Amino acid sequence: MSDADLLFRPVTELAADVHSGDLSARDLVQASLDRIEAVNPAINAFVDVFAEEALATADGIGAGDPRPFAGVPIAIKNNRPVAGKRLTLGTNFSGDFTPDYDHNVTARLRAAGFVIVGTTTLPEAGLLPITETARFGATRNPWDTDRTPGGSSGGAGAAVASGMLPVAHANDGGGSTRIPAACCGLVGLKPQRGRISPAPEIGESFLGQDGVLTRTVAETAALLDILAGPVLGDASWAPEPTEPFAVSAAREPGGLRIALTTTTPLEGTEVGEEERRAVRQTGELLASLGHEVEEVQAPWSAPGLLHLFTASFGPAVSSQIAFLARVNGREPGDGDLEPVTRAIWDLSHTINAIDALSAGYGLQGLARGIVTWAAPYDAIVTPTLAEAPLTIGTIQAIEDPMAAFARTGAFVPFTAVSNITGSPAISLPLFQREDGLPLAVQLMGRPLGEGALLALAAQIEAARPWADRRAIMAAAA
């Protein structure tokens, strides 16, 4: 079996082979490192690779290791601390800042036996749904290297889709796990708000949730089980589920009531015909599986939504730059930030505390209305993207920074809705475009409903599997 074939196997199978002794942790990690060396120069998915440390960790893992994922390689998105490794947030302004502690997700992945082989790329401060930075250059989509792998977890998506990793850490404050999943043909879940602790830096996050990018729903469920749960000192958290998510994902979902919509939440944005067709075909599949399916006009197209979201999201992003300013002992100067980030940073300084709180309250009111409207449905199906993955350089070619930011909203108008409501949502690579690129749909679940959402997603995957599809870069290798 080639390294590429090995790294396309489910992480549960890889872990089982390491546990039984049929596969050594060192051989598995070395296979990942070899693939990174061969493929990453063309994809640019990694900020740093920790080859020596990863192999040393793997050498300490033997057959019978009781940890559920002992010996399986993974990477951390470079906006979460890995002790002793540089944390760049994708910006020149970070320099080579090196935290001396692990983030909660890093620590939980280590505790589960994963071997961290490196950190992956992201847009500056995780701001955009593309992954192109002044500091590290463009990360490329393994399905078409002229296109973006999405963002902000673009490096993670590209690494998994190209077979450099079997799974990768991601996070999502406006779609940043689901967008790369859609661009790269992967499964991406944004869990319920408060499901995964953001410790140790903050006690809660209104918009953002950590997670992973995988090839199958079962893998996503299994990793959610190890990442979920509060940490002492959290300000709020989601209630513990009644059973493991992996168990829920394996259940038949039963007959559900499901809504389909292509109503875009952002005024003036268009949805492509292929995206509309994907939603219709998903509805036909769901009806054939025994579900009650209804096409609806969603009530989330609120005037000024982009401005309202920016007034909340902008300061949240800018807080990362403010953190680096404290580390550096100075404010960002000329050349420290890219134009869009600088524009959001400057805009955030014009938003006073009352305006920021008011924007948050506005989003909460909008969320309550959406959740109330959606209550009769077990799931809402939408496109994940409004169009095909953008060609690299599309956003940088727009001279007006705020116009560039608005253009990214037209690319991904659907994903931020679930960050606003806090409810779980998952992107599934159910179809392919006419040119062969992945074509995804998004399923939005009930509050606290990851288990039911995963069960429905698994049923869809069983009816129309996608895990054997491979990106051009992976297939060629």
**Can you state the angle between helices 305-328 and 401-411, rounded to 10 degrees?**
120
Catalytic residue among 32, 77, 205, 418: 77
Query: Cβ–Cβ contacts within 10 Å for residue 396, how many?
Result: 15
Catalytic residue among 32, 153, 176, 418: 176
Instruction: Provide the phi-psi class of 450: left if phi over 0, else alpha when psi is between -120 and 50, else beta.
Output: alpha
Neighbour-count burial for 213-252, b at 16+ CB within 10 Å, e otherwise: bbbbbbbbbbbbbbbbbbeeebeebbeebeebbbebbeee
CB 442 within 8 A of CB 178: yes
Indicate the SS3 state at residue 220.
helix
CB 227 within 8 A of CB 105: yes
Indicate the SS3 state at residue 6.
helix
176 is catalytic: yes
- Torsion angles phi and psi, residue 461, rounded to 5: -65, -40
Residue type, position 141, single letter: N
CB 78 within 8 A of CB 120: yes
Q: 281 burial class (0-12, 13-18, 19+ CB within 10 angstroms)?
A: middle
CB 211 within 8 A of CB 170: yes
Tell me the Cα Rg of the chain: 21
For residue 383, whether the previous peptide bond is cis, meaning omega lies within 30 degrees of 0, is no
For residue 152, whether the previous peptide bond is cis, meaning omega lies within 30 degrees of 0, is yes
Catalytic residue among 94, 152, 205, 348: 152
94 is catalytic: no
205 is catalytic: no
Give the separation between CA 160 and CA 170, rounded to whole angstroms: 11
Give the separation between CA 218 and CA 11, rounded to whole angstroms: 10
Q: Please state, in angstroms and as integers, the Cα–Cα distance from residue 34 to each residue in 117, 136, 464, 471, following that order.
A: 11, 21, 32, 18
Q: Which residues are catalytic?
A: 77, 152, 176
